[in-house]
Amino acid sequence: MRKGLFITFEGSEGCGKSTQVELLARRLRSLGHRVRTLREPGGTPIGEEIRHTLKHSHQNHAMTAEAELLLMNASRAQLVREVIRPALDAGEIVLSDRFYDSTTAYQGYGRELDLQMIKTVIDVAVGETRPDLTLFLTVSPEISEMRRAMRQSTLPFMRDRIEEADKKFFERVIKGYEAIAASEKRRVRVLDGSGSTENVCTKIWEVVEPALPKVGRW
């Protein structure tokens, strides 16, 4: 039985989850917890190579939805076995910027791949390694689009293939997350991510703090 706590952050582009992962990690460490922060795809040397291929490479324009699905989960399979399981077994708190709910939302609902196939691939990638708690940060489509545009303007030499999808794609992604949250209410907590960074941070802490006694402090 693992000793640690596994928390994942989910949401559409521009929801602020990456910032909140770092803020939560900082707060937990200040309280004496051992914390590991990760991102998907990526988090291992192999995963970061896959991330580049999926998101940033100028050779990925012809990538199919099926190839995207398999690459995402190849990165995930490596991350689970190389990093997440050992960290949890050692009693660490693992905070991941995305995990398998992103695949259901993006490749399942967004790319409109078969959801049963998605589940089968995820099961192979993660096995029994499942989040204890998932924080789903929501923002309006307008805020998401604005934040995506701002982010891209600050990275003029770094394209992101996922963010190049059209408005309908991201609308389907949001519907996918909403379906996940409705079906797993005990694990997935929905939080409004449109407020100030400090306000969202406070809401997240109210959800996370009750789970911490499972882990203890060092």
Spatial distance between the Cα atoms of 66 and 51, rounded to a whole number of angstroms: 16
Mean pLDDT score of the chain, rounded to an integer? Answer: 92
pLDDT exceeds cutoff 50 at 215: no
Residue-range domains of the chain with CATH: 5-214 (3.40.50.300)
Q: Which of 151, 154, 153, 132 is nearest to 143 (CA)?
A: 151
The percentage of the chain sitting over the pLDDT mark of 90, rounded to a whole number, equals: 79
Spatial distance between the Cα atoms of 58 and 135, rounded to a whole number of angstroms: 32
Count the neighbouring beta carbons within 10 Å of the beta carbon of residue 174: 20
pTM above the 0.95 mark? no
Give 60-87 pLDDT, tens digit per residue. 999 999 999 999 999 999 999 999 999 9
Q: Which of 107, 116, 165 is nearest to 141 (CA)?
A: 165
Give 162-171 pLDDT, tens digit per residue. 988 899 999 9
DSSP string, 159-209: --TGGGS-HHHHHHHHHHHHHHHHH-TTTEEEEE-SS-HHHHHHHHHHHHG
The percentage of the chain sitting over the pLDDT mark of 70, rounded to a whole number, equals: 89
Give 159-192 pLDDT, tens digit per residue. 788 988 899 999 999 999 999 999 999 999 999 9
**pLDDT at residue 116, as a whole number:** 98
Q: Which of 82, 91, 75, 2 is nearest to 39 (CA)?
A: 75
